[in-house]
Amino acid sequence: MLLISCRNKSEEMTNAVPRIINPHVNEGDNTTNDEGVNEVEENTFLVPMVEIPDNNHIQRLQDINLDHDVEEEQIILTMVKDEDGKDKLKLFIADYNNDMMRYQLSLEEMISPDHMEGLSVHLQDLNGNQLNEVLITGFNKQGFQTLDVFSIKTQGGSAGLTYRRIAQLVVNGTIDIETADRSQEYKSGQMTWESFPIITEETNPEDDENLDLIKTVYNWNKAASRYQPISVAKVPGVTIKEENLKKLYRGDLDDFKAFLSGPWHRVSDSVGEKQPFLQDILYFQPDEDQVIFTIDDIQEIYDWDDTYRTIFKGIYIQSQNILIQSLRRDILITVEDMDSIKVKIQGTTEWGGYYTPLSQSLQQGLVHDEMLEPIEELNHLSGLFKGSRGNEFYLDYPFFTEKNVDGENRQGVYTFFNLYGTSILQLRYQRKNGLMDARSVYNVDFQITEDSSRIIRTLTLVPGNLTVSGFLQESGETLHIEQIEVMDKS
């Protein structure tokens, strides 16, 4: 199966691309499950920018822009023992204060997860004030799902950036942020306070069959500056007539993985609107630990990292892009019946909705066995490349800065890889608030020439797109950029 990260469709919200490092922790401390993230930042050594108490063992350092200013903030997660000697996680946020000309502590709070396994950090504007909240999702040792949300309280001035907690949930079930498309006023930058509700579903402890649910809806209360419950309702479980479905609901993770294995196509979105036939396909490959996202003939492949049971009929999958490992998707899947699943992707309405399995006949032509391979020689390129028209690229794998002919700078992450014998460059641009934006894909020709005094490295970039059949050239200007290294004559 071919996997590509090249989707041009605009995404309402994706994970930010921070610089992350997971330090080696002391023996006995919990470690994270983010092996791939270390590879992204293996050459970057991050240190905490504020003083951390000695009894706190750092689990993760993450540099990311939280408030749209020039300087990055820092998210620090530590493990600390509570009064009973149990492991707890603590969140620190450090902000560079321009008035004070130094980093200062913006937040220090205990959070609900008590281990790093399954923990994710997201940015998303939940309450509609044009500022991203910090969302931390995870699990505690009882297997309950957790959500902690922190919102900007003040920014600028001598106080600098400060945060407050606006939501803290721990449920024996699922936690879902019900995202929706916002108004044009919001998209144009107005503070509309169009908030997203948070919905939890957990098993009713009074139900002997454990098939009834309790659904709670939390709405943003601007006056209280918190998310508060507005409704609690019992959702009666349906009578399960199909013995296979009852067996699945009572099964374990392996049973759910086996059930999901294979391609599923989206028939309607989360509000029931019918979708084009075979446009969006999810391909679950538990044996290969991969989830493949396909739209039309463009595909993305994600490593299937971790899986958790939530309510009796659902599982929670954490995944990361195989080419750009800082791109992550947390997937909540609910099995409605033996021929239907409901999918929710954390932080976006895209891909959400109802899916049915593809028949064997429809699967023909969808599967390709060739995999993508990074081109190490090209990924090791670094430094400044200039074009004849004044455009520039500065490469520092996996990050790049692009300067166009008008002098405007854009930043993001990049990777070179091989697809069916064709060298490909993929650029993923990053917005000022740290969230991912558009992508560009190029066919690459790399040449090295030398003379007595110089080494010239030339990249010729032909714009195009990626399909299940390979690279497809599109209209657009071919770019020629080169790097000149002057040789030392001494």
List, for residues 165-208, the tens digit of each pLDDT value. 999 999 988 898 988 888 888 888 888 888 999 999 887 777 66
Residue 482 confidence class, pLDDT cut points 50, 70, 90: very high
Q: Check residue 382 and give its pLDDT.
A: 93
**pLDDT at position 32, please?**
33
Residue 318 has pLDDT above 60, yes or no: yes
**Confidence at 161, pLDDT banded by 50, 70, 90:** confident
Domains of the chain from N-terminus onward: 19-249 (no CATH), 265-363 (no CATH), 373-486 (2.40.128)
| Cα atoms in the Cβ-side hemisphere of radius 13 Å centred on 419 | 27
Q: Give the pLDDT of residue 181.
A: 82
Distance CA 381, CA 416 (A): 10
**Residue 383 pLDDT:** 94
Mean pLDDT, residues 259-277 taken together: 87
Q: What would the mean pLDDT of 85-95 be, rounded to a whole number? A: 93
Angle (CA) 456 459 460, round 5°: 130
Choice among 35-44, 365-374, 444-453 with the minimum mean pLDDT: 35-44
Q: Quote the pLDDT of residue 478.
A: 92
Q: Compute, in degrees rounded to 10, the torsion defined by CA atoms 119, 400, 106, 220.
A: -60
Cβ contact 410:428 at 8 Å: no
Using CB atoms within 10 Å of the CB of residue 187, give its burial: 0 to 12 exposed, 13 to 18 middle, 19+ buried. Answer: exposed
**390-427 confidence digits (pLDDT tens):** 899 999 988 899 998 888 888 888 989 888 788 999 88
What percentage of the chain reaches a pLDDT higher than 90?
36
The count of other CB atoms within 10 Å of the CB of residue 463 is 15
Length of the chain equals 490
Q: How confident is the model at residue 467 (pLDDT cuts 50, 70, 90)?
A: low
Q: Which residues on neighbouring strands pair with residue 403, listed in sequence order?
A: 392, 409
* For residue 463, cis peptide bond before it (omega within 30 degrees of 0): no
- Determine the 3-state secondary structure of 61 from DSSP: strand
- Token digits for 209? 């069959």
d(CA 452, CA 95): 49
Task: Kindly write down the DSSP assignment for every residue of 385-443, as one continuous string.
Answer: EEETTS-EEEEETTEEEEE-TTS-EEEEEEEEEEETTEEEEEEEEE-TTSBEEEEEEEE
pTM higher than 0.75: no
In this structure, of 26-30, 130-134, 187-191, 450-454, the range with the lowest mean pLDDT score is: 26-30
Two tokens at 461? 């970039």
Tokens of 340: 């239907």
Q: Which residue has the higher pLDDT, 118 or 60?
A: 60
